[in-house]
Structure 1
Amino acid sequence: MLLLIQAGRAFARNIPAIVPNISFLGLDLSLIPLSDEDRFDAISTMFLQQKRLFTMRFGPIMLLGTCHPELMHVLLTHPDCLEKPFLYDVAGYENGLFSAKYNLWKSQRKALNPTFNSKILNSFVSIFESCCRQLVSNLSQCEDGGTVNILDYTSKCTLEMVCSTTLGSENLQKDGKNAFLHGVEQIFDFISRRMLNIHHYPELLYRMTSTCQEDRAARKVCKEFVEKIIKDKRDQASQSAEPEDVDTQEEHFRKPQLFIDQLLSISQIDRKFSDVEILDNIFTIMAAGNDTSGLEVAHACLLLAMHPEIQEKVFSEVASFFPVEEEEEINADYLKRFEYTEMFLKECLRFCPVAPHVARKNLVPIDLDGVTIPAGNVFVCSIYALHRRQDFWGPHAELFNPENFNLEHCKARHPAAFMPFSTGTRSCIGGRYAMISMKLMILHIVRNFKLSTHLKTSDLRFRFGITLRPSFKHLIRIEKRTNHA
């Protein structure tokens, strides 16, 4: 068996390898005794020290790693590298876009791409606006000048956004709503914990843990709630099945196009989505939407508080355009006016990419960096390390600076040096959704509150996890702006 393993790895003999400091029977044990923060630092350093392709160990498995933009772009856009490896299996919901194997994912993604077109995203703006106003109202109830964990508020806001655009706000008023929302949060947490514990990967071992029982209970509650909504939606559709004329369709696009309605519509006229596929994709969209927007806006608020001069630039721009004239509708095109705010948000995504690492498996042999790599190998790409490479971002890559995204710097930089939502056909389907919702949240927060903190950028340390979270809470002092000044 050992000879077979060695023969299978022969292709890698000329690829730089990370030699573990602590090993036993060939297993890398060097990361086990480290804290989450030290583990994250060690892995980031490992990627940054290896400028191109290298090998590393995950238990008995050899992985290939890189943070080079050219290699990452080739891997993530390669038509034969679209499979998700075993690392994603523990998430469950294998009939949804996040965890689905290649063949199922391919047919689903083709059918679902139109559900995130510009017209549909514009139809969500009214929902986003309503949730942002509620966010401001919730923050206004805090002590003026008091300190809050801003993530508690941004995650609640984005969960309301994603639930409303996925299921419909009227469904969140039904019995079981609170249990459903609590269950969603629990499931996200359980997935994160299991993915980071290799001894929880075997299903038999995981079933022996108390976490497994809690995980199953949360999934059962959420499944029953969504199944009831699916049934109600199908009943409504069967009662109003008459075709719409062109004018009615145009008016229809001005109303929020709920994701569950889109899924059911696809099931009727195009690719057939089963109930389990509908359920799994709803959770995929909800998980991605909540983690991406809620966490990143909390990061953004912390960075605004750390950099008062940048906060004032954002506020000046917001004050110039917001509020809009009453007759002017807020939509994605209107939001393009906030150019500096967008530069700021992109720098937040560079500095704190929500998903610090992505992984892929090649389905056939591929040539990469002068090496022919057999099928079935697992690649890990570090977006976090990519965004901190001094050879692409300059000698001050560790500093937070929105000017990294002015037109001159963007033109001079490698086009693949920035990929906050991954890249290629298996990138995040909701990237534009996230940018619209995040920009609106920042506009409303900065317009109504002044943020400050005693923390500095140099204090930022992150914990190793699926998503990028700091080692401390997003504690921010908020002061109400008088007359938005």
Structure 2
Amino acid sequence: MASSIPDRPEGARPIPGPKPYPVIGNLLDMPAGRTMQQLLVLSKQYGPMFVLHASDGPRYIASGLEMIDDLCDDSRFVKYVGAGQRELRKFQESAGLFTADSDDPLWKSAHEILLPAFSQRAIRAYVPMMVDIAEQLLLKWERLNPGEAVDVTADMTRLTLDTIALCGFGYRFNSFYRDTQHPFVDAMMGALSESQARQRIPPALTKLRPGADRKLHADMGYMQDTVQKILDERRASGDPGEDLLGHMLVGTDKDGKPLPDHNIVSQCITFLIAGHETTSGLLSFAISYLLKAPEVVARAQAEVDEVLGTDLSVAPTAPQIGKLTYVTQILEETLRLWPTAPAFTRQPLEDTTVGGYEFRAGTPIVAASLVLHRNTDVWGADAWDFNPDHFDPARRGDRPPNAYKPFGSGVRACIGRQFALQEAILVLAMVLQRFDFVDYADYQLKIKESLTIKPDGLSIQVRPRPGRTHGAISTAPAATPVEEPTAAAPAPVVGNRHGTPLLVLFGSNLGAAEDLATRIARDGTDRGWATTVAPLDDRVGAVRMGEASPSRADLPTDGAVVVVTASYNGMPPDNAAGFCDWLRGDTASAAGVR
């Protein structure tokens, strides 16, 4: 970080790291194409905090749990936008969620407007479109001749790009019907490659590469023009739709302000880039591990057959995806070993310490999730091994809160992480339902680094599983039908019977937690309780009286109190903020509350 103010106070505890060379610093210690993998090597040598020197200043790398606990404290730290992200936004009139600074007013507006598009209700509604694209992948693999190889990473990239385009903007790249990549993909990959390359080049040298600069301008211009055309066509249709684009076209923030077109374009490009790169890497890494773990494949296929059945003409549903617990464990374990966004960068709001090391305000500090996730104190002696049982439900309660950070942290964590996980669970389950993997080339994992990380050269063969049907009567066990939950109706009044009070409080911006609270209250009434439903803030006395800091909660000591609340990247819902402030303070007035 180029600055006249030092990053650390004079006399501060020294931070270890490799010796820098004049001018180039530690450039040789971080070889191109292996930057993230090298963090694993250097952390073993220098420990959970070390420093690297670049042409524009030091890079502090933290991976110890105590340090990550500090960096994830939103009262002290905020996201720092890295050099590669800054390069991408130079060519846009405004920044997308991924590349914006936290004090950018448009980031706050876009975040508020887009949250409903990533609610539980919205995510479940994307399932049919996700199935649509997944079926295209599966059809391609089914039509391969025996012995033909599959380029897994390339196909997963096609799948995830087409999925985010269809679910987000109603646009079809039709990647599985092309011999070559869509020009948008070429432009996107070119822009990503150049923006990453510029992180390693001193700013003065960038001006000596006019050809690369012209190409980056052209690539970004093509992406912007393509997205603007999609936006114009949607607006001209008169139907904004209910997808990401629809929310941005008609949505307003809490102050009633809409997003300007240039920011909508930036958000669309951000989602297309971030939404396809990370998920395609996750699916590819998962398959690379399953190639070497037949016992894991057998267990996963048994679960898939039980939940989805063997009739391939029946499309999976959102409730079924929620029942695929072991498939989910496979993907969570994959993200532990190779988080496709392997690090995130934070900066202190004021002078502070990280794991006992002193830093000045504004100093960028990299939280290396890739290293953090291999901490043997947390994950055990097999922390470097692929073992989905690391995420066995019985073990989750023992894991420290910040030991697993594949999606960033706090309010700037990935807004689309549930979208990505639902897509990955669905696709992996459908692949396991239909195919066995054949490791014909004895694949050995090799990493390709760009904006994210992916397996390089992952080539496999697939073999159709026996006992699959397409609408015919099957002797195999059928999947247990799962009913779609409906919106909760008001609790019926059936008389109080025993009449014990039941207070159900909720915190909810998008309706899911409120629906669940209403359902609990309805069930309570059916069982003879005297039920009341209310937002959490309605029971904080000081808030009701207009005081600045809530001092007490109006909670009964007779009967029971149930709290149902969402958390938006670590922040409370709008109707629970006062209650959350009260929880942080004196909770003595809750004595005797059950």
Q: TM-score range by the shorter chain?
A: 0.7 to 0.9
- CA–CA distance in 2 between the matches of 1:3 and 1:462? 34
**Equivalent runs, 1:11-90 vs 2, <5 Å:** 11=10, 13-20=12-19, 23-24=21-22, 27-31=25-29, 34=31, 36-37=33-34, 39-87=35-83, 88-90=85-87
Kindly state the Cα deviation for residue 480 of structure 1 after the two structures are TM-superposed: 1.6
Residue 151 of structure 1 aligns to a residue in which SS?
helix
Verify the 8 A CA contact 2:72 2:402 in the aligned structure 1. Answer: no
- Residue equivalent to 1:126: 128
- CA–CA distance in 1 between the matches of 2:102 and 2:11? 25
TM-score normalised by length of structure 1: 0.85
Residue of 137, 157, 160 corresponding to 1:158: 160
- CA–CA distance in 2 between the matches of 1:110 and 1:100? 14
Deviations 1:283-331 (A, max 9, x none): 1111111012112111111211121111111111111111489999844
Kindly state the Cα deviation for residue 112 of structure 1 after the two structures are TM-superposed: 2.1
Q: 1:268 to 1:412 in 2, by over 3 A?
A: closer
Higher relative contact order (CA 8 A, sep 6+): 1
Stretch deviating more after TM superposition (282-291 or 324-333): 324-333
Deviations 1:73-108 (A, max 9, x none): 431342453242342211224521111122222333
Residue of 336, 345, 351 corresponding to 2:322: 336
Residue of 288, 292, 305 corresponding to 1:319: 305
Residue 479 of structure 1 aligns to a residue in which SS?
strand
Deviations 1:249-301 (A, max 9, x none): xxxxxxx8311111001159933211110000001111111012112111111
- Residue equivalent to 2:452: 467
- Residue equivalent to 2:569: none
Q: 1:328 to 1:456 in 2, by over 3 A?
A: closer
Kindly state the Cα deviation for residue 185 of structure 1 after the two structures are TM-superposed: 4.3
Kindly state the Cα deviation for residue 163 of structure 1 after the two structures are TM-superposed: 0.5
User: Is the helix fraction higher in 1 or 2?
Assistant: 1
- Residue equivalent to 1:112: 114
Letter in 2 for 1:112: L
Q: 1:10 to 1:455 in 2, by over 3 A?
A: farther
Residue of 279, 285, 291 corresponding to 2:277: 291
Q: 1:234 to 1:178 in 2, by over 3 A?
A: farther
TM-score normalised by length of structure 2: 0.70
Kindly state the Cα deviation for residue 28 of structure 1 after the two structures are TM-superposed: 2.5
Kindly state the Cα deviation for residue 3 of structure 1 after the two structures are TM-superposed: 12
- Residue equivalent to 1:433: 419
Q: Within the alignment, does 1:446 sit opposite 2:432 as a pair?
A: yes
Kindly state the Cα deviation for residue 335 of structure 1 after the two structures are TM-superposed: 1.2
Q: 1:16 to 1:158 in 2, by over 3 A?
A: same
| Ranges in structure 2 where 5+ consecutive residues have no aligned partner | 469-475, 477-594
Verify the 8 A CA contact 2:72 2:409 in the aligned structure 1. Answer: yes
Kindly state the Cα deviation for residue 150 of structure 1 after the two structures are TM-superposed: 1.0
Verify the 8 A CA contact 2:308 2:320 in the aligned structure 1. Answer: no
Kindly state the Cα deviation for residue 215 of structure 1 after the two structures are TM-superposed: 2.6
- Residue equivalent to 2:244: 259
Verify the 8 A CA contact 2:194 2:216 in the aligned structure 1. Answer: no
- CA–CA distance in 2 between the matches of 1:221 and 1:60? 31
- CA–CA distance in 1 between the matches of 2:440 and 2:62? 35
Residue 278 of structure 2 aligns to a residue in which SS?
helix
- CA–CA distance in 1 between the matches of 2:253 and 2:399? 45
Verify the 8 A CA contact 2:250 2:258 in the aligned structure 1. Answer: no
- CA–CA distance in 2 between the matches of 1:199 and 1:64? 16
Q: 1:167 to 1:4 in 2, by over 3 A?
A: closer
- CA–CA distance in 1 between the matches of 2:3 and 2:108? 36
Letter in 2 for 1:474: L
Letter in 2 for 1:24: P
Residue 361 of structure 1 aligns to a residue in which SS?
strand
Kindly state the Cα deviation for residue 450 of structure 1 after the two structures are TM-superposed: 0.7
Aligned residue pairs, count: 458
Q: 1:76 to 1:195 in 2, by over 3 A?
A: farther
Q: 1:224 to 1:411 in 2, by over 3 A?
A: same
Residue of 364, 368, 377 corresponding to 2:363: 377
**Equivalent runs, 1:335-374 vs 2, <5 Å:** 335-374=321-360
Verify the 8 A CA contact 2:350 2:362 in the aligned structure 1. Answer: yes
- CA–CA distance in 1 between the matches of 2:385 and 2:165? 35
Stretch deviating more after TM superposition (441-450 or 40-49): 40-49
Letter in 2 for 1:124: Y
Verify the 8 A CA contact 2:113 2:251 in the aligned structure 1. Answer: yes
Stretch deviating more after TM superposition (207-216 or 276-285): 207-216
Letter in 1 for 2:58: M
| Ranges in structure 1 where 5+ consecutive residues have no aligned partner | 242-255
Deviations 1:423-468 (A, max 9, x none): 21101110000010001110111111111225778x4343444312
Q: 1:322 to 1:291 in 2, by over 3 A?
A: same
Verify the 8 A CA contact 1:299 1:352 in the aligned structure 2. Answer: yes
- CA–CA distance in 2 between the matches of 1:349 and 1:364? 32
Residue 306 of structure 1 aligns to a residue in which SS?
coil
- What is the percentage of aligned positions where both structures have the same residue? 20
RMSD of aligned alpha carbons: 3.2
Verify the 8 A CA contact 2:16 2:49 in the aligned structure 1. Answer: no
Kindly state the Cα deviation for residue 374 of structure 1 after the two structures are TM-superposed: 1.5
Deviations 1:319-361 (A, max 9, x none): 1111489999844332121111111111111122101121123
- CA–CA distance in 2 between the matches of 1:166 and 1:340? 28
Letter in 2 for 1:45: V
